[in-house]
Structure 1
Amino acid sequence: MNSFTSTSTRALAGLAVVGVLTLTACNDNSSSDTAKTAAPTAPTTAAPATTAAAPSATASAAAPTTPAAATEPATGGAPAAGTGKDAAPGTTAKIGDTVQVPFSSGSTKGSIAMTVTSIEQGTQADLDSLKLGDKAAGMVPYYIHYKFTNVGTTDLSNTTLTHIRGLQPDGSGAQGVAIFTSFPKCTASPMPPGFTNGQSAVGCFVSLAPAASKVAGAEYSADPYTIGKGVVWE
């Protein structure tokens, strides 16, 4: 609902997702410089997550920036980007819709327009390079692509979008993956320098589901939202 949100392998070290557990993909020859994406918790291996039963995912490649904020209204009563009104807890939007949500990172607070642009199914072979071991056996990766735009007055440079989780069809959290190595299939990183009003960036979060299921949606549950009462795209 492990996604808005550019450089470094610190990639959304806090991109939170609630799931069965969190796996960490590391490159034996590379160090992991995590950024924040705190989220629900229940990691199986070191994954920067921080909420009970909520795995987090981090990607390592830089997320490109693009100009202009998206303004397409969301469903379920969610306000469009830049309206000055953040979506209420429990808001449901369609994938592709843009929703305005509050953003906070430490003492930095602002407002962003967030869009889950697509959820792409990968293949089990995609995971080979991540060396996740037996815990990923029988799991299929899904790539949650998102875009986020600064619609507030605060400079959000070098902060990180967090608390995004993949959702299975029954609403349960999918398993997140914390990635501390190169994974071109799906990357995410901190907001770039100069991330002021009107600036946009994109990112991707890796979520796993059993072959018999799938990742059908995503939830953003950062403060003031909570898991199960965040903004959902499906």
Structure 2
Amino acid sequence: MSTISMRNTALGAVGLAVVGSLALTGCKNGNEELPAQPASSGPAGPASHGASAAPSTGAGSQPPAGAAGTATSGQAFKIGEAAQIPYDYGDFKGSKLALTVTAIEQGTPADLEGLNLGDKANGKVPYYIRYTVKNIGTTDMSYASVGHVRGLLGDGTEAQSLAVIGKFEKCKDESMPKGFANGQTQTSCAIALAPSAQTKVAGAEYWGNPYNATSNGKGITWK
């Protein structure tokens, strides 16, 4: 899996690193970090929306008929449908969530300007995978982070991910707030990069435990 990561410095600049996905632990650590480069001036504008986005059924929606209970490896959902998943990480073992991919929005190559990705961004088009997380268990999940959401291209292969460490207004990767108890809902976003304007990010996959697709397992998907 290939992921491009950025880190904001104290002076407002950003740096790059190629990292693996560690978001479910509540942090994202990188290696091979490059020196920070100056960011472009001016705040990031609103994300561009593409026709690939599907209608959302609303944050915190319950699993659709026929999909009750914990989602199974390889199970497919429609965008807007919720999947019940276990969350067995760190202090939150035994927690349970309803995860819903609400939209896949197409951005433009211009969205990547100012991030100083260099050749890594050549020809690539960003897509924003927007999803909601609802606590449906009994554990207080304050400050937990739900990552391991990635894009899928039209042929089912994995899209390249862009991990932003710091704030990126077009696609905010949000941790759970304090007091994230049963019934609370949080929105978040993951960035996927299509290799060209002719190729679209058509779906999304959650591949965290116990659906670890990097160990020959199958994640759960939305299209």
With structure 1 as the length reference, what TM-score do the two structures score? 0.72
Query: Residue 187 of structure 2 aligns with which residue?
Result: 202
Q: Which residue of 1 aligns with 2:17?
A: 45
Which of residues 216, 223, 226 is equivalent to 2:202?
216
Offset, 1:48: 4.8
Structure 1 residues 63-142: aligned runs within 5 Å: 69-73=60-64, 77-79=66-68, 85-109=69-93, 110-142=95-127
- 2:67 aligned counterpart, secondary structure: coil
Q: Which whole-Å deviations, capped at 9, do the CAs of 1:188-214 have from their partners, x for residues lacking one?
A: 121111000000000011110112211
Question: Given that residues 87 and 100 in structure 1 are in contact (C-alpha distance below 8 angstroms), is that contact kept between their aligned partners in structure 2?
Answer: yes
* 2:15 is the alignment partner of 1:24: no
Deviation at 1:69, TM superposition (A): 3.5
CA contact (8 A) 1:119 1:142 kept: yes
Q: How many residues align?
A: 184
SS of 2:176's equivalent in the other structure is coil
Displacement of 1:68 = 7.8
Structure 2: give runs of 5+ residues left out of the alignment.
23-27, 30-57
Q: 1:207 to 1:68 in 2, by over 3 A?
A: closer
Larger relative contact order (C-alpha < 8 A, sep ≥ 6)?
A: 1
Provide the C-alpha distance between the structure 2 equivalents of 1:159 and 1:105, rounded to a whole number of angstroms.
Answer: 9
Could you give the per-residue CA deviations for residues 161-217 of structure 1, whole angstroms, max 9, x where no partner exists?
A: 021111111111101111124321101121111000000000011110112211111
Superposed displacement of residue 47, structure 1: 3.0
- Unaligned runs of 5+ residues in structure 1 are 1-17, 33-43, 51-55, 58-66, 80-84
Q: Which whole-Å deviations, capped at 9, do the CAs of 1:91-111 have from their partners, x for residues lacking one?
A: 000011111111122131200
TM-score (norm 2): 0.75
State the 4+ residue runs in structure 1 displaced beyond 6 angstroms.
Answer: none
Kindly tell me: are residues 138 and 204 of structure 1, through their superposed partners in 2, closer, same or farther at Cα, counting changes over 3 Å?
same
Cα deviation, 1:4-60, whole Å, max 9, x if unaligned, reads xxxxxxxxxxxxxx4xx211233452489xxxxxxxxxxx9343525xxxxx89xxx
Say what the alpha-carbon RMSD is for the aligned residues: 2.5
User: 8 Å contact 2:153–2:201 — kept in the other structure?
Assistant: yes
Cα deviation, 1:94-129, whole Å, max 9, x if unaligned, reads 011111111122131200001000000000000002
Percent identity between the aligned chains?
Answer: 45
CA contact (8 A) 2:128 2:189 kept: yes
**Does structure 2 retain, via aligned residues, the 8 Å contact 1:105–1:160?**
no
Which structure would you say has the larger Rg?
2
Aligned to 1:182: 167
Mapped to 2, the partners of 1:31 and 1:112 lie a distance apart of: 35
- In the aligned structure 2, how far is the partner of 1:137 from the partner of 1:179? 18
